[in-house]
Chain A
Amino acid sequence: MKAAVVVFPGSNCDRDCAVAIERSTGAKVERVWHQESALPSGLDLIVLPGGFAYGDYLRCGAMASLSPVMRAVADAAERGVAVAGICNGFQVLCEAGMLPGALLRNAALKYVCTPIDLEVANGQTRFTAGYAGRREVTMTIGNGEGNFFADEETLDRLEGEGQVVFRYKANPNGSARAIAGIVSGRGNVLGMMPHPDRAFEEELGSTDGAILFQSVLASA
């Protein structure tokens, strides 16, 4: 099993993601600089990590979505490789048009870092199958622009097609329909604001993130 974590200038959870995947799955993880135009071969998972790529200037994820590596990421997604954008990575995926919607400023206009309970809205995806029917998981969030927005029609479609994967039990940032994470129509591209990469050991308060990485690699 093999995974890659993309590193943009300003990414700051790239190490966390690599460590979380290694510790929870034993997979080999390579870090790929954003200027690369090709990804390593034989990947089962590509992670776009959290952080503040390009300082989050202009719009979160906007400049990163134009990095050379993103073309290769989109191609891999086309081929069905699992792609997970976590926090800033979710923002990058939306900006790149690989996921619908956008992430706006939090309703309270403040950054918020807190442990949070999530409802597993779809336990059938390759990212959530490992929860084995569990409906509730816990992770932490840390974001200032995690307020998911899409027009009503898109939201209806996301819900109708089972593309909403995680929902906040208590909405921390004003996200439409309390959405915390979604997948693409084909189900292989995940975007989520909570951090599975900070929930992979008991000492960190939760191991629910480890299960997410385990299930995606089990599906590969």
Chain B
Amino acid sequence: MDFDDTPDEAAFRAEARAFLDANRPRKDRARAAPRYGEVDAAELARAKAWQARKAAAGFAGITWPREWGGRGGSPMQQIIWNQEEAGYDVPYDVFLIGLGMCIPTLMAYAGRPVLERYVRPALRGEEIWCQLFSEPAAGSDVAGLCTRAERNGEDWVVNGQKVWTSGAHFCDFGLLLARSDPAVPKHAGLTAFWIDMKAPGVEVRPIHQMSGGSHFNEVFFTDLRLADRQRLGAPGQGWKVALTTLMNERLAVGEPRRPDIHDLIALARAVAIDGRPAIADPAVRLKIAEWWADSAGLAYTRFRTMTALSRGQTPGPENAIAKVVNAARLQAIAAYGMDLLGQAGAIADPALAPMAGLFQDGLLAAPGQRIAGGTDEILRNIIAERVLGLPAEPRVDKDMPFNRHAPAR
């Protein structure tokens, strides 16, 4: 075991840090908290500018081939970049889904002309991509989706509705999964496409979240025409394409959302219980210790993943672990932070609540974290079935033609 950089890694880290120092201020935890909310026009512009600058300097798509504008670097370089960038005040990453999930899927299934046209602008932050899988009646059960894609001569015509589309309101293109054959079992009747989000027949309506922002959207398709060249994979192979996309989701291992254990420690130092800092109270210490053990465990699990990645191994279920632990802990830490504030715990006013309302914001965001990108329940299924090898549940719906299912409600 060795936590030190190799000379090559150290050189790359120094290069990354020099670039970051020259371009961004350091992050300041004590300053106003990142609010869980919408990305406004100004933030979007900042995000695009930052992505363009990273791409120009060779820090976007670090592991991508040079042919597509990447650096052709190693997974360890990507990890080092992520570690370094996390220390700086950078705009909200609106490219995560596009660059982490959509473009890799395109690379696996689209023809060369499509890649020539779309990969570089995406990497430079000029065009943003979203993922259009979930539907009102197909959340956890993605393969239960109803949006129809019907052949019409050489083209396809799409009608239906998607939901929970992150960033659809500022996206240019999207990856669509639709039902092309309702007469076969549910997983067999799907086809994947890429679409232009600005095309006629696409309507985006932001969803107002309980946490205040509108990061997610409903997307409606009314006679949206797609050329057959927008198809990804063969007709009926859409589920396979979707699995490629979802597997790439695992690579995008994120930091835990705030308030995290460090924020709780900061709060416990700042507020008093019986005239002493809360962190001196044995009950508070016990809580912090237990969360610290989990937080440290997750951080070191990420190191295990990085090491595996750097050896060219495919990432395992670590992201399922991280998400299931982080989301529940976020909710618990946020609630406990409010508890430490006593009678003022329910104050959400950022001017009055400690740390600009970070704990109250986190409490309102936590339920979404437990749902979006795989619910707690689905993630436990994934761990149990794909990691531990426990048998799947008997499925009443799996082999039945989709159009003979009871209507999903």
Whether A associates with B in a native complex is no
Residues of chain A having any CB pair with chain B under 8 Å: none
